[in-house]
Structure 1
């Protein structure tokens, strides 16, 4: 509510107080008549204790009783004891004054009528009670009115999303069993296209169309930026259909002949009441499971600390051992030092890019100013989010090949079953823990206007489709229908890993043929990205005016398909093969080194800075630009990191860049990187769901939210210590036992 509205409310309250002062017959007023003899005696006793004068007049007694009554009435309003007052307790005494002030006030700031239009009989009944009590200025009805969004200031600066007062609405308990229900309605404004004046105002209202969306777009993963969120507080008996009908009926009275058409939609999941039901059984079981894991890890750590004899499984969960392992700075044999820095840099960039997406869910008083600010060329940092996953795919191919060829050099064969088992032991426990938490626990640890959209809706999807994630095929069922959408990378990487033995063995045994086949496959994958992007008008780069549908199509037809990500994976395979075949003492020609640095740096800059003009506010989509970016940017971005890894591993550089990326501290971020990837969106969406009011956008404060980053790292450390590391320890034990058993088997020559 604006300043003008607040002034009106204060004016009304002052009038009520003054109206009370107009009553002449104080002793017969309704409230004073209820005071018992004990209260009068108490006033006399207070007077005796406070003053020694015997000249205690009747006028003084009346004055004291009036003051006592004032304190009693103030206590009613201050302590909010509305359970005993389902109607205004002053209305009978001041009917004329309250009716007059209510009529004046509601003429200036009209109240939303939940019973307008074609609504259910139950909704109509409670709406009539609400209107009756609101006209009496009964506290609970006034709260319901107060919690509903009003026309704000700053509309032309993008202050269009009005979240009302979520907690005040849910806390309403009125007469005849009425309780408050909070609904976040969606409004879509369309203007007469022949009116350039309205078109410009429409552009400002919608913050230069940073995204274009409509009410039918999925809003749980990418925000419906063009849709206005408007809070309605209504009696709980009114369904979402009732709210939609009454809101449409109300808007229809004002919108005709304005040049503006307003569409309305209210989803069931966006209407909430106060939770009164007990926690579901599944939530209790899962919570006890997590508590059990914590207790087990602590007990295992105590046993480890005091050298109490236990088995290998208990040792695997030792909190002490895993903490020491997490913060250890010792490198393993064959470790490629610079890769840890590459992983840390891209993990940080990915967190910031994902944060940029989460920002657009929020309500801001200066959203138009925010959009203009984000039209600067340097915002490529957030717009190029798709780039930051490519190095992880390249590193996966590199490390897989490096490991496989090492085994092939030693024994001449691969135990593919063991490799797949090792992969599953690495990924499944941590992923499973996150799915359990986000599906059964997270929906019950918070609330807010958009909580059901960004938290509960994801949980509902996971309840239906969780099995796809454990089979690592969830990336084939559409971005909007995916449990934990951000885990699509796991599906891509696992599917490419499943093919890796075939590609690596071919390259190892038939180098020329293998190199030819892999190069042709990489070229085909690059061509595929270009072709699909151009003909389907996709875009991996988030530009001004991109539609939500275009973003989802880009994901579904290109970004989440392994066939479109093969190029950088094959780059990693070639790099892993080179690192195994070139010794650490290999000396590269200085001229070739300079050429390599120059070419790889230019490719990286071209991939990162080249598309910056596409982020301008006045940019017009060009499918050639989009196709070129999608096809070649991943290659350019990964080229520098690959070249740096080769030089660093072979000992051909001691430059500051290589030293920085090889810093031992990045070993810790490497161990946390998988969990950081998993936990960042749950933390972002928790904060989005909890947000209850619009805030002023300030770039540094919003993007670099250190409290949020702290929770991401803390959640990642907990997930790593309780699930990732213990099961990696168990995997190591199982593989050692398997190798030991194979060593004990008699050979065929015996």
Structure 2
């Protein structure tokens, strides 16, 4: 019992030293800690940690000056001038000098440390709201702490494991934290006067911790980033934010004017009416299928979009502090959590669908005209993708950073905006996936780069397949095999893993993304599956009947491959899993094939009339047409919504699987923002594209034949 008490004291005192900021002190110099006691530190012993360094050029108080001016005076020894000195919070509340908001807003030792309640955000709003009558201003710093133990204390291993929630993710202070959370890092709020620089805070914390953790077996590293020290924003909004806001208000005004013209059937340009909310909303909710529509693909897209939202939310929630984070890790350290860990798997069908639809469209044109207008195809794609993407980049870069605040706001919102200010041009050239996952503007848009680069090569691929089917099939099969081998080799050689296994490191996740996941050569296999499927859908007539035995065998093989791709990696989600590069290589090489082959098979059977089973009928439900029209906007908006909520989070909450993962309010905002983005940008520019690229009808003196009419249409 004595040993356990000593261990608990060691851990608690080490962490307690991390909030070494207080504003309760006497004017005389004091020693910070004379002894270690479970009942905490005395008022006179709290402050020295951050009083060691002073910022010379400052418009505000240094911490030493704060101590001098805000001593713990009693009513008996206060001078009249001192009795009148007050702190002001939001200009509405005044309190005497012996009430110290800076100390109150700093994180304190909580209960439940061994249940993972180690991330303490203090009181953000109280800290940044502090204003002193003599110009003192509060500054909120979120310090990063890495707790390690040396080999001399093996008895601390169990406590260390519980504090770090079984190492669900392994991270270091040097890992990029804006896209993937540094799960193993402790976030500890420190409220200081604004005169303290981040370097002051970091050096002082490091000094205090080193001084009082000697011979404890604990090694605590400290990092305080300048972007994580925040004050209340007092400056006026920058011109770029005002211009961006005016741009969006202008688009809204244009849509309203177009809606008025459309509703009252006033004479107007077709380009203006392209922005009509009435017209675009009716298109959005229409359940009419277009000519040549492949019905089952809408359900495939909807299913994978939903799975992708769940997987992305699973990653985003690890940014937040939880009072039961260790319990959460134990709950998520089970094989069934494959549903959230296989995020990469759910993007493969979108690449497959892109290849399928591109080939289906191109082969149709080649059958009619014998040629492809490549410039027209490229221009069509640009008009379809760029306006919506550009609107999101402008919003996330220049508007969103000023829409809120919070302990991690600068990390997950402002930091992304700063990257976009420097690298936005890469996104518009669709080459941003070659510059590293951590340096990418809106990292979740890497899929657009991959898809566009594969689309750029598709005219050559499809033309070869259409002109020389046998040779084209052999060439594409060889390319698919080479891509599969490349994924296996790179994953094994570099110790990567496309599956987020329990205990994976942040470095490994970024390496996997940079060396495999975001490269088109590694995603080529599923694109070729889509290309071959699209060609078959154009080649086989809709009433073509397959041999029932062949159909049954196809169902059996595709289903087994699908289940193997999804369930096979489940053991890697176990809390006791030990990384094996062969597991990662096999998963990265073959799971995309197994996952996509079933969807390809369903599309082929449904479109050729060989299947009308329950799965085909579900995927062909007309309601999924709306999901298809919103899918691009949902893909773009989900991470901004997730990161907005992460940035606004003020403190720890209780983790509950259903309530946390399936946040109805969050899902509603994703849907609302997707509808807005679709109605204001995607659909209007689709209308403009159709108007500009519409081929003029040739005047004829007589009624055209059926063949001529089909060509003109």
* 1:248 corresponds to: 206
Give the direction of change, closer, same or farther, for the CA distance of 1:741–1:419 in structure 2 (3 Å limit). Answer: farther
Question: Is 1:280 aligned to residue 238 of structure 2?
Answer: yes
Pick aligned residue for 2:550 from 584, 592, 595: 592
**Aligned-residue offset at 1:594:** 0.9
Structure 2: state its 5+ residue gaps: 1-22, 27-38, 75-95, 702-713
* Structure 1 CA distance for aligned equivalents of residues 400 and 480 of structure 2: 41
Pick aligned residue for 1:300 from 252, 258, 279: 258
* 1:410 corresponds to: 368
* 1:662 corresponds to: 620
Question: Is 1:147 aligned to residue 82 of structure 2?
Answer: no
Question: Is 1:381 aligned to residue 339 of structure 2?
Answer: yes
**Aligned-residue offset at 1:253:** 3.0
Q: Any idea what SS the aligned residue of 1:184 has? A: strand
Question: Is 1:568 aligned to residue 521 of structure 2?
Answer: no
Q: Any idea what SS the aligned residue of 1:183 has? A: strand
* Structure 2 CA distance for aligned equivalents of residues 622 and 140 of structure 1: 59
**Aligned-residue offset at 1:112:** 4.2
* Structure 2 CA distance for aligned equivalents of residues 367 and 105 of structure 1: 25
* Structure 2 CA distance for aligned equivalents of residues 386 and 318 of structure 1: 37
* Structure 2 CA distance for aligned equivalents of residues 739 and 110 of structure 1: 84
Q: Any idea what SS the aligned residue of 2:693 has? A: helix
- Greater helix proportion: 1
Pick aligned residue for 1:348 from 300, 306, 312: 306
Pick aligned residue for 1:118 from 36, 39, 53: 53
* 1:319 corresponds to: 277
Q: Is the 8 A contact 2:62 2:193 kept in 1?
A: yes
* Structure 1 CA distance for aligned equivalents of residues 273 and 98 of structure 2: 58
* 1:84 corresponds to: none
Q: Is the 8 A contact 1:119 1:245 kept in 2?
A: no
Q: Any idea what SS the aligned residue of 1:190 has? A: strand
Question: Is 1:531 aligned to residue 468 of structure 2?
Answer: no
* Structure 1 CA distance for aligned equivalents of residues 287 and 489 of structure 2: 46
Q: Any idea what SS the aligned residue of 2:502 has? A: coil
Pick aligned residue for 2:126 from 157, 168, 183: 168
* 1:159 corresponds to: 117
Q: Is the 8 A contact 2:61 2:136 kept in 1?
A: no
Matches within 5 A, 1:541-690: 541-690=499-648
* Structure 1 CA distance for aligned equivalents of residues 46 and 344 of structure 2: 46
Q: Any idea what SS the aligned residue of 1:360 has? A: helix
* Structure 2 CA distance for aligned equivalents of residues 742 and 513 of structure 1: 41
Question: Is 1:710 aligned to residue 668 of structure 2?
Answer: yes
Q: Which has the larger radius of gyration?
A: 1
Give the direction of change, closer, same or farther, for the CA distance of 1:196–1:105 in structure 2 (3 Å limit). Answer: closer
* Structure 1 CA distance for aligned equivalents of residues 560 and 660 of structure 2: 32
Q: Which string of whole-angstrom CA distances, capped at 9 and with x for unpartnered residues, describes residues 656-704 of structure 1?
A: 1110100000000000000000000000000000000000111100000
* 1:270 corresponds to: 228
* 1:44 corresponds to: none
**Aligned-residue offset at 1:118:** 3.4
* 1:21 corresponds to: none
Q: Is the 8 A contact 1:111 1:145 kept in 2?
A: no
* 2:30 corresponds to: none
* Structure 2 CA distance for aligned equivalents of residues 379 and 743 of structure 1: 64
* 2:437 corresponds to: 479
* Structure 1 CA distance for aligned equivalents of residues 233 and 567 of structure 2: 49
Give the direction of change, closer, same or farther, for the CA distance of 1:202–1:109 in structure 2 (3 Å limit). Answer: farther
Q: Which string of whole-angstrom CA distances, capped at 9 and with x for unpartnered residues, describes residues 37-78 of structure 1?
A: xxxxxxxxxxxxxxxxxxxxxxxxxxxxxxxxxxxxxxxxxx
* Structure 2 CA distance for aligned equivalents of residues 350 and 392 of structure 1: 11
Q: Any idea what SS the aligned residue of 1:264 has? A: strand
Q: Any idea what SS the aligned residue of 2:501 has? A: coil
* 1:490 corresponds to: 448
* 1:130 corresponds to: 66
**Aligned-residue offset at 1:159:** 0.5
Q: Is the 8 A contact 1:442 1:455 kept in 2?
A: yes
Q: Which string of whole-angstrom CA distances, capped at 9 and with x for unpartnered residues, describes residues 138-175 of structure 1?
A: 45861110000111111111001010000000011124
Q: Any idea what SS the aligned residue of 1:135 has? A: coil
* 1:16 corresponds to: none
Matches within 5 A, 1:502-517: 502-517=460-475
Give the direction of change, closer, same or farther, for the CA distance of 1:317–1:140 in structure 2 (3 Å limit). Answer: farther
**Aligned-residue offset at 1:200:** 1.4
Q: Which string of whole-angstrom CA distances, capped at 9 and with x for unpartnered residues, describes residues 186-234 of structure 1?
A: 0111102342221111111111111111101000000111110000000
RMSD between aligned alpha carbons?
Answer: 1.9
Question: Is 1:392 aligned to residue 350 of structure 2?
Answer: yes
* Structure 2 CA distance for aligned equivalents of residues 131 and 431 of structure 1: 51
* Structure 2 CA distance for aligned equivalents of residues 122 and 141 of structure 1: 28
Q: Any idea what SS the aligned residue of 1:185 has? A: strand
What is the count of residue pairs matched by the alignment? 643
Give the direction of change, closer, same or farther, for the CA distance of 1:585–1:392 in structure 2 (3 Å limit). Answer: same
* Structure 1 CA distance for aligned equivalents of residues 644 and 40 of structure 2: 38
* Structure 2 CA distance for aligned equivalents of residues 136 and 283 of structure 1: 46
Structure 1: state its 5+ residue gaps: 1-86, 92-103, 745-750
Matches within 5 A, 1:212-223: 212-223=170-181
**Aligned-residue offset at 1:314:** 0.6
When normalised by structure 1's length, the TM-score is 0.84
* Structure 1 CA distance for aligned equivalents of residues 335 and 54 of structure 2: 50
* Structure 2 CA distance for aligned equivalents of residues 277 and 312 of structure 1: 43
Give the direction of change, closer, same or farther, for the CA distance of 1:352–1:114 in structure 2 (3 Å limit). Answer: same
Q: Any idea what SS the aligned residue of 1:186 has? A: strand
* Structure 2 CA distance for aligned equivalents of residues 289 and 741 of structure 1: 39
Give the direction of change, closer, same or farther, for the CA distance of 1:140–1:653 in structure 2 (3 Å limit). Answer: farther
Q: Is the 8 A contact 1:116 1:250 kept in 2?
A: no
Pick aligned residue for 1:358 from 302, 316, 330: 316
* Structure 1 CA distance for aligned equivalents of residues 644 and 477 of structure 2: 44
